[in-house]
Amino acid sequence: MGACKETPANGQTIVQRDTAISRSNAFSTLFFDSTALEQYLERKSMPDTARQLVRNFYNQRNYQFAWFDSSGVAEQSLHFWNLQAGYMELSRDSSIYNPYLQAWADSVQVNGMKAVPDSARLQVEWAMTLQFLRYAAQAYMGNHRLDARDLNWFIPRKRVDILSMLDTLVKEKGKDIDRYEPVNRQYGLLRDQLKRYYEIERLSSWTPLVIKEKKVQRGDTGNAIIQLKNKLALLGDLPVADSGNLFDESLELAVKRFQLRYGIKQDGVIGGATLRELSQPINRRIRQILVNMERIRWVPEEPSSDYLLVNIPEFKLHVYENGQYTHHMNVVVGSSTNSTVIFTGGLKYVVFSPYWNVPPGILKKEVLPGIARNPNYLAQHNMEWFGNRQVRQKPGPKNSLGLVKFLFPNNYNIYLHDTPSKSLFNEDKRAFSHGCIRVAEPEWLADWLLRADSNWNKESISKAMNAGKERFVTLKKEVPVFIGYFTAWVDREGRLNFRDDIYGHDEKMMKKLFQ
Pairwise CA distance, residues 300 & 277, whole Å: 31
Dihedral sign for Cα 27, 33, 39, 43, please.
negative
Number of Cβ within 10 Å of residue 12's Cβ equals 14
**pLDDT bucket at 260, cuts 50 / 70 / 90:** very high
Could you report the per-residue pLDDT of 261-279, keeping only the tens digit for each?
A: 999 999 999 999 999 999 9
Report the range of poorest mean pLDDT among 202-211, 396-405, 495-504: 202-211
Q: Where are the alpha helices (DSSP H) in 204-241?
A: 223-235
Could you report the per-residue pLDDT of 100-154, keeping only the tens digit for each?
A: 888 888 877 777 656 667 778 899 999 999 999 999 999 988 888 888 888 889 9
Strands 390-393 and 356-357: antiparallel
Q: What is the value of pTM for the model shown? A: 0.89
For position 377, what pLDDT does the model report?
Answer: 96
Could you report the per-residue pLDDT of 336-375, keeping only the tens digit for each?
A: 999 999 999 999 999 999 999 998 889 999 999 999 999 9
Pairwise CA distance, residues 248 & 226, whole Å: 11
Dihedral sign for Cα 187, 189, 195, 197, please.
negative
> Where do the domains of the chain lie, and which CATH numbers do they carry?
5-181 (no CATH), 207-280 (1.10.101.10), 302-513 (2.40.440.10)
Strands 416-417 and 437-439: parallel
Could you report the per-residue pLDDT of 9-43, keeping only the tens digit for each?
A: 333 454 455 555 544 444 567 889 999 999 999 99
361 contacts 436 by C-beta, under 8 angstroms: no
For position 182, what pLDDT does the model report?
Answer: 67
Give the number of residues written for the chain.
515
CB-neighbour burial class of residue 289 (10 A; exposed 0-12, middle 13-18, buried 19+): buried
For position 277, what pLDDT does the model report?
Answer: 96
Asked about 436 being catalytic, the answer comes back as yes
Catalytic choice (144, 327, 436, 505): 436
For position 105, what pLDDT does the model report?
Answer: 82
Top pLDDT among 172 and 398 is at 398
For position 208, what pLDDT does the model report?
Answer: 86
Q: Helix, strand, or coil here: 471? A: strand
Instruction: List all residues 6 or more positions away from 139 whose beta carbon is below 8 Å from its beta carbon.
Output: 84, 87, 91, 297
- Residues 235-250 have a mean pLDDT of 94
Catalytic choice (318, 417, 434, 505): 417
The Cα-based distances of 75 to 100, 101, 120, 411 in angstroms read: 20, 16, 18, 50
For position 374, what pLDDT does the model report?
Answer: 96
- Residues 440-459 have a mean pLDDT of 98
Compute the mean pLDDT over every residue in the chain, rounded to the nearest whole number.
Answer: 90
For position 176, what pLDDT does the model report?
Answer: 67
* E-state strands within 229-341: 307-311, 316-321, 324-334
Whether the pLDDT of residue 453 is over 60: the answer is yes
- Residues 482-496 have a mean pLDDT of 97
For position 486, what pLDDT does the model report?
Answer: 98
For position 25, what pLDDT does the model report?
Answer: 43
Percentage, residues of the chain above pLDDT 90: 70
For position 16, what pLDDT does the model report?
Answer: 52
Whether the pLDDT of residue 495 is over 80: the answer is yes
For position 266, what pLDDT does the model report?
Answer: 97
Instruction: List all residues 6 or more positions away from 56 whose beta carbon is below 8 Å from its beta carbon.
Output: 13, 14, 15, 163
The Cα-based distances of 60 to 73, 122, 285 in angstroms read: 21, 18, 45
Instruction: List all residues 6 or more positions away from 155 whose beta carbon is below 8 Å from its beta carbon.
Output: 148, 298, 299, 300, 342, 343, 344, 482, 483, 484
For position 62, what pLDDT does the model report?
Answer: 93
Could you report the per-residue pLDDT of 288-345, keeping only the tens digit for each?
A: 999 999 999 999 888 899 999 999 999 999 999 999 999 999 999 999 999 999 999 9
For position 69, what pLDDT does the model report?
Answer: 85
- Residues 244-255 have a mean pLDDT of 97
The Cα-based distances of 137 to 52, 297, 394 in angstroms read: 15, 10, 51
339 contacts 454 by C-beta, under 8 angstroms: no
Asked about 417 being catalytic, the answer comes back as yes
